Amino acid sequence: MTNIDSNTSLFCVIGNPVAHSLSPLIHNLAFKVTKFNGAYVAFKVEDIKTSIEGIRALGIKGASITIPHKLEVMNSLDYIDKTAEDIGAVNTIINENGVLKGLNTDCDGAIKALKIKTEIKDKKILIFGSGGSARAIGYGINKSSGDLTITNRTTQKGVDLANFLSCEFTGLDKINVSDFDILINTTSLGMHPNVDSSPIDLNSLHSKQVVMDIVYNPLKTKLLKDAEKKGCITVNGIEMFVNQAVLQFEAWTGLKGPYIEMKNAVLEELTKR
């Protein structure tokens, strides 16, 4: 972190919980690498509306928005860019002289991570979950001409998301996982400390599938370990997390984000844990 002074720009992540977040680690590292005079902290927030008023009043220059506030935060912003509006979720705020603008970097971050490993066009893709990340990834898959299906533990939320994305919904009790080319977990199943959880049974997987898990702590979730046992191509949560963070950093600072350094910092920290 740079020396904090009266010219230091403050940034933050807002969510509940946030104690596990690695966003402060990688954004403060990015400030240091690029010599940008900024500092980034984590705020555990239950009331998103008053916290956004605080951002405006205190002159906080930008914020990352995480679970569970990505949808509700939209009601408190002055401007929302087209991609975030189409997705219906915001994960990034830019404060431009008191005007708060909402963006979504989850979409491009996830799609970039997927495309490193596989094509998306015409692939049968199953998303587990119905939250803000599922919305963003589903939107990106539609834009990339994938054949999308949603499944979710709570039927109505899954149906609502499927309707929003103009795709099919199938209940967990009826889904045949082996029918899909790409499987994406956007739920918290498998996240530390519940590391023995997975949304997919090991025996449902086969070697021709690509399996992505947006959970990045632990580095290898049970789902990804099971997928590797079956010979699947895997995409871990770090790729999406770092890609979206780089896009946030660039939106806030106008500088090129130091992707390699940010990714290595996450890998090092997760290895320690």
E strand or H helix that includes residue 24: helix 23-34
- At residue 2, does pLDDT exceed 70? no
201 shares its domain with 261: no
Task: Enumerate the β-bridge partners of residue 101.
Answer: 79, 94
| One domain for residues 87 and 176 | no
Check residue 191 and give its pLDDT: 87
Q: Which long-range contacts (CB under 8 A, 24 or more apart) does 200-204 make?
A: 200/128, 200/226, 201/177, 202/226, 202/229, 202/230, 204/177, 204/178
Q: What is the pTM of this model?
A: 0.88
- Give the helix/strand (H/E) hosting 103: strand 99-103
Six token digits for residue 141: 């898959």
Kindly report the CATH number assigned to the domain that includes residue 91.
3.40.50.10860
Distance CA(137)–CA(114), nearest Å, equals 10
Position 3 in a domain: no
Catalytic residue list: 70
Give residue 120's domain range.
107-235
Under 8 Å between Cβ of 260 and 33: no
Structural domain contains residue 4: no
pLDDT in tens, 52-109: 999 999 999 999 999 889 889 999 999 999 999 999 989 999 999 999 999 999 999 9
**Residues 222-266: tens digit of each pLDDT:** 999 999 999 999 999 999 999 999 999 999 999 999 999 999 999
Amino acid at 9: S
We report the CATH number of the domain holding residue 217 as 3.40.50.720
Same domain as 178, residue 159: yes
Are both 112 and 98 inside the same structural domain? no
